[in-house]
Amino acid sequence: MSEQIEVIDSLAGMTLFADLTPPQLEAVAHTFDEDFFDEGIRILRKGFAGSGFYVIIEGEAAVNLDGKQIATLSRGDFFGDISALLGELPTADVTATRPLRCAVLSADELDRFLLAYPTVALRMLKALARRMRNQNTWRN
């Protein structure tokens, strides 16, 4: 009974959804599915079609490229965004490194969702910009 509240509360505490009103948050919590992945389970598979957009509610995941871990993801982070937005196949694997609960939206729904909630789109754009900045910083 309490876990749906927890999903809404979790989303409310995330930067991505910080501008939404309580009814909007409730709608978002119902729009996303909630999936669980045990430690060691792959969520995003390089080269496999039909993946989704994931927001981590709880747990940790690793981004792996060609057998090498390139990033760690935790609560509030999202992944699957690039392949969902561009309609392309994922270019890396994402694997749960601790039991992982995610809010999930199918890639086909992401465009419509972002158009319905432009403040989420703006927050996502800023997060992507930070990701690019950090990558450039690493290169330097």
Partner 1 sequence: MAELNERPFPPGEYPVVVVGTGPGGLQTSYYLTQLGVKHALISADEQPAGMFQRFPFFQRLVTWSKPHAPVEKTERRNEWYDWNSLLSDDPALRGSVIEFMDGSSYFPSRPEMEKGLLAFAERAKIAARYGCRWESTARAGDDFVLTTSDGEYRCSTLVFAIGMTQAWKPDIDGIELVPHYVEMKPAKEFAGKHVFIMGKRNSGFELADGLLPWAKQLILGSPRPAKLSIITHSTSGARARYMQPYEDNALGGGHFVLDAAIERIERTADGYRVHTSGTTKPGVMIFEVDEVVAGTGFTTPLGDLPALGVKTFYQNRLPAQTPFFQSATVPGVFFAGSVTQGSIGLKKYGIPSNSAAVHGFRYNARVLAHHIAETRHGVKIERPSVEPGRVVQYLLDEATNAPELWNQQSYLARVLNVDRARGITDEGIVPLQHFVDAGGPDAVAITVETDGTGDIHPALYIRRDGTTEERVLASNPLNDFATSEHHAELTSALKPLID
Q: Which residues of this chain interact with partner 1, rule CB under 8 A?
A: 1-5, 7, 21-24, 26-27, 29-31, 33-36, 38, 41-42, 45, 47-52, 99, 101, 104-109, 116
Shorter beta-carbon distance to partner 1: residue 28 or 124: 28
Helical spans, DSSP H, in 13-117: 22-31, 81-86, 107-116
Shorter beta-carbon distance to partner 1: residue 7 or 73: 7
CB of 76 to partner 1, least distance (A): 18
First and final CA of the chain: distance in angstroms? 49
CB of 80 to partner 1, least distance (A): 11
CB of 89 to partner 1, least distance (A): 8
Shorter beta-carbon distance to partner 1: residue 17 or 132: 17
Q: Contact, 79 vs 102, CB < 8 A?
A: no
* Nearest one of 88, 46, 50, 48 to 67, comparing CA atoms: 46
Q: What is the DSSP string of 121-140?
A: HHHHHHHHHHHHHHHHHHH-
